[in-house]
Amino acid sequence: MRDGIADEQVLVRNKAGWISEDGCYSTCDAGLIDIDGRTYVMSIMASMPWSDRSSEVTAAIAKALFDTRAALA
């Protein structure tokens, strides 16, 4: 999430995690994002093992979600 919204003036408190064993593959990131006096909750889960690619996908999803916050408010 941090990488996806790194260019913004925000506070991100997140916890990322992943699993890649015994046929179980998952990359996830969840946290709180504070900006302009508002707090948003974001959670991203993908059925991909952790890798540079899954990090890029998670960042792209975080950016897309973050960019839609005005429309969702």
Cβ count within 10 A of residue 29:
25
Rounded (5°) CA angle 36-37-43: 85
Entry pTM:
0.83
Pick the residue with more confidence: 60 or 22? 60
| For residue 70, pLDDT beyond 80 | no
Sheet holding 24-35, edge to edge: 11-21, 24-35, 38-46
| For residue 33, pLDDT beyond 90 | yes
Q: Label residue 23 by pLDDT band (50, 70, 90).
A: confident
| For residue 11, pLDDT beyond 70 | yes
Q: Label residue 51 by pLDDT band (50, 70, 90).
A: confident
Helix and strand element counts for the chain (H, E): 2, 3
